[in-house]
Amino acid sequence: MANTQHFDLCVIGAGSAGLSLVAGAAQLGYNTVLIEKDKMGGDCLNTGCVPSKALLKAGKVAQNFRNSDIYGIKSQEPKIDFAAVKDHVSSVIKTIEPHDSQERFEGFGATVIREAAKFIDANTIQAGEHTISAKYFCIATGARAFVPPIPGIDKEKVLTNENIFDLKTKPKHLIVIGGGPIGVEMAEAHKGLGCDVSIVDMGSILANDDPELVEVLRQDLLSKGIDLYEGSAVSSVKHTKTTVTVNVEKDGETINLKGSHLLVAAGRQVNADQLDLEKAGVEFDRGGIKTDARLRSSQKHIFAAGDVASGPQFTHIAGYHAGIIIRNICFKMPAKVDYKALPWVTYTEMELANVGLTHKEAIEKYDESRLKTISWQFEENDRAQCEKHTAGMIKITACNNGKILGATIVGPHAGELIGIWSLAITKGMKLKDITGIIAPYPTFGEISKRVAGAWFTPSLFSDKTRKIVGLLKKLPF
């Protein structure tokens, strides 16, 4: 094809997966082109992880003003400049932007084209005036907010993660449809910043997490004054110029929630519908591009990574996918995805972190008689007592031989504490390996050593062990 530019690798999408892949391939000597129609950095930098965590921190700081009495410091209602809070969020994005900038990736030797891409055939794409062919392609176009077709809802008047961070006026009453991580995080952040907040969900909040630990977080949200409408269906929505009414059906009754703003956090839809994938022979459905364990699509030279690939939708998975594809393309290694040690975290003040199998998943996979769970409360941790953060707990699911299958933590710093359990599952470690750690005192990290030790307490102090120790006591030193 005349005037076609030829590359070793063409990556579509400059989010976490695409950028990681381009950085690796270009620096390894692959002639690489990156195509992005919108902002560099994708969802995570601009409308996801980064702004949400910056906003959450502001909400937590404000909440600390209200709770300082427990430390002997007079509590007070903080004076919140909501527009300044949003300026803080924007400044964090701008600080990180250079790391994801076009100039940085051009510095690696990659070509960057800022256009929308569409496949012409399995080996060629069109991006504006550019016609591009490549030996390998990777689709890393991510996902976007899904607004369900609720009667009366106006997509132009609702908030999603894609526009809520641009809002400069503080909502008086924010109604959130969806009790997943995004909905719960944004609810707590805005409550901390002085808004009335209600969450509506058809099922339980954080339905993919362990119910026992979700209950700890639920009680914390309720204590902050967040209204929860779980097991509730939204039947209709009515907008006016200044208000929104969400009609909720719960236990046969209709509840009319009236608020100032409506945030829809009811799931995501993949960005695969505007690429003309049919022309390339790439199979996909509502769940994303269908891939094998090596992240290859139905066309083996076309890979998919990140949210657009069928599977878990997390930023850290996007980076993980990039590494798998680098190994396949650049090093010719048949690397495959393995999610057995996949961590995920909800970053509320009472963080909820998971890795590996939940207790429910473990029961579905193994005979329950082969499993054992053990838990430990934060109130037994001296650092938690010092900081008055004692409501949390850790729960471990393992085989009877002590092989670790999954861990869940709810409490302060849970996202940091889960790391050791991710390593343990990755390396196939057993609980006895965790008991051998020397943990600094006093730290929240001691809770991991304590829960592992608790696993062995019944056998360690059993009559059988005491009898053995009694016999050994008679032996000369």
Does 461 score more than 90 pLDDT?
A: no
pLDDT at 418: 98
Q: What is the pLDDT of residue 311?
A: 86
Query: Residue 2's pLDDT is what?
Result: 52
Strand partners, 238: 245
Please choose, from the candidates 173, 163, 228, the residue with its C-alpha nearest in 3D space to the C-alpha of residue 195: 173
Q: What is the mean pLDDT of residues 315-339?
A: 96
Tell me if residue 457 falls in helix, strand or coil: helix
Check residue 477 and give its pLDDT.
74
Q: Could you tell me if 222 and 93 are in contact, meaning their C-beta atoms sit under 8 angstroms apart?
A: no
Phi, psi of 32 (to 5 degrees): -120, 140
- What φ, ψ does residue 11 adopt, rounded to 5°? -115, 130
Say what the pLDDT of residue 445 is. 96
Q: What is the pLDDT of residues 178-197, one digit of tens each?
A: 999 999 999 999 999 999 99
Q: What is the mean pLDDT of the chain?
A: 95
What are the backbone dihedrals phi and psi of residue 95, each rounded to the nearest 5 degrees, phi first?
-65, -40
Count the helices and strands in the chain (H runs, E runs): 16, 23
Distance of CA 197 to the CA centre of its chain: 22
What is the reported pLDDT for 161? 95
Whether the pLDDT of residue 13 is over 90: the answer is yes
Look at phi and psi of residue 29 and say left if phi exceeds 0, alpha if psi is from -120 to 50, else beta. left
Residue 394: what pLDDT? 98
pLDDT (average), residues 285-312: 95
For 50-70, write each residue's pLDDT tens digit: 999 999 999 999 999 999 999
303 in Cβ contact with 18 (< 8 Å): no
pTM: 0.94
- Say what percent of the chain tops pLDDT 90: 92
Does 474 have pLDDT greater than 90? no
At 471 the pLDDT is 79
The model's pLDDT over 225-274, given as tens digits with 9 standing for 90+, comes to: 999 999 999 999 999 999 999 999 999 899 999 999 999 999 999 999 99
Mean pLDDT of 163-169: 95
First-to-last alpha carbon distance for the chain, in angstroms, is 86
pLDDT score recorded for residue 129: 96
What is the share, in percent, of the chain residues with pLDDT greater than 70?
99
At 433-448, the pLDDT tens digits run 999 999 999 999 999 9
CA distances 110 to 18, 28, 32, 34, 210, Å, are: 12, 11, 5, 7, 44
Residues near 99 by beta carbon (within 8 Å), at least 6 away in sequence: none
Select from 165, 147, 144 the least CA-distant residue to 56.
165
Give the per-residue pLDDT at 316.
94
pLDDT for the residue numbered 1: 52
pLDDT band at 367 (very low <50, low <70, confident <90, very high): confident
Q: Which of 230, 253, 227, 137 is nearest to 175 (CA)?
A: 227
- What pLDDT sits at residue 310? 85
- Domains belonging to the chain, first-starting first, are 4-40+101-145+269-329 (3.50.50.60), 164-266 (3.50.50.60), 343-460 (3.30.390.30)
| Burial status of residue 307 (CB atoms within 10 A of its CB: 0-12, 13-18, 19 or more) | buried
What is the average pLDDT across 217-224?
A: 98
pLDDT, position 476 = 83
The DSSP annotation for 209-248 comes to: S-HHHHHHHHHHHHHTT-EEETT-EEEEEEE-SS-EEEEE
Cβ proximity of 171 and 370 under 8 Å:
no
Helix (H, G, I), strand (E, B) or coil at 353: strand
pLDDT of residue 403: 96
CA torsion sign for 323, 286, 146, 273 is: positive
Taking residues 102-129, report their average pLDDT: 97
